[in-house]
Amino acid sequence: MKSFTKTSTSRVLTPEELDRLNDERCLVSEFKRAKLEREAQKNWDLFYKRNTTNFFKDRYWTTREFDELRTCRKLESQRLVLLEAGCGVGNCIFPLLEDDLNIFVYACDFSPRAVEFVKYNPLYSPERCSAFQCDLTEDDLRENVPENSVDVVTLIFVLSAVHPDKMKLVLQNISRVLKPGGIVLFRDYGLYDHAMLRFKAGSKLGENFYVRQDGTRSYFFSKEFLALLFEEANLQSVANDYVLRETVNKKEGLCVPRVFLQSKFTKPSQPQSS
Ligand SMILES: C[S@@+](CC[C@H](N)C(=O)[O-])C[C@H]1O[C@@H](n2cnc3c(N)ncnc32)[C@H](O)[C@@H]1O
């Protein structure tokens, strides 16, 4: 059984790891950063062209980690409405659809290929699911999802793929379709995750923000940064903790420290005065 620790403090780096991070001070050029931003959608779509549905594993842990997925109904018979924002090929939603028959899922992604893979999945049916293409930083979700209608939004390893300057736009967008009292369930890369320390020189785009070989990008969240981001979008913190896990990298024969940030935020029932 895999073991993990939940903690409110970030991972402490060794002196060697600190040196490594400090060596990466030089940023990718402004020209290349702007190009990566313009081509973000294309790069994710090419990712799915190369990897089809074979890259991410199905996420069977969501109901264990987020008991709201079972408990947040007011009546047992209530049909839960969920939005999986940045759904990829559906590794998060299909285990939920298999597990819980009384759920309706909206699922969106800005890769048209990913959305097609979702629609081709044998578990997809229009009575239980509505998948659509959209850029969460630009396209108003209300074109596909009624305002104030969603009980739960899941943001699973998605916000890290968005430029930090545009993350607030994503949160404002999902907040419009979330019911007052509804909840956002978040899990993503945490500060000093092994993946962050593995980036080679020439991959750094900004503070805690890196580009992979394939042009997709990843941000590594501190809990303070995330809390502020949600606060600015008028979403209130319910939980916000690092999850630390040692996993074995079989290829390299190494035990590696993984850090994720796992959090919950709610939309206040009463509008907040600013
Ligand atoms: C690491 S994958 C996670 C997919 C899925 N949530 C899961 O748990 O398997 C990140 C996804 O975010 C999508 N994405 C990135 N930026 C986006 C944006 N601005 N609007 C919509 N989707 C976006 C990518 O296309 C990609 O499918």
For the chain, the domains span: 4-266
Q: Is 210 in the pocket of ligand 1 (CB under 6 A)?
A: no
Half-sphere exposure for 220 (CA within 13 Å, toward CB): 23
pTM for this predicted structure: 0.92
pLDDT < 50 stretches in the chain: 1
pLDDT at 85: 98
pLDDT at 1: 40
Q: Is 158 in the pocket of ligand 1 (CB under 6 A)?
A: yes
pLDDT at 142: 98
CA of 189 to the centre of ligand 1 (A): 13
Angle at 44 between CA 38 and CA 49, to 5 degrees: 130
Residues 221, 160: contact at Cβ < 8 Å?
yes
pLDDT at 272: 64
* Domain 4-266 CATH (choose: 3.40.50.10490, 3.40.50.150, 3.30.70.360, 3.30.420.40): 3.40.50.150
Q: Say if strands 209-211 and 204-206 run parallel, antiparallel, or are unpaired.
A: antiparallel
Residues 199, 168: contact at Cβ < 8 Å?
no
Q: Is 86 in the pocket of ligand 1 (CB under 6 A)?
A: yes
Choosing from 110, 145, 153 the residue with most ligand 1 atoms within 8 A of its CB, the one to mutate for a pocket test is 110
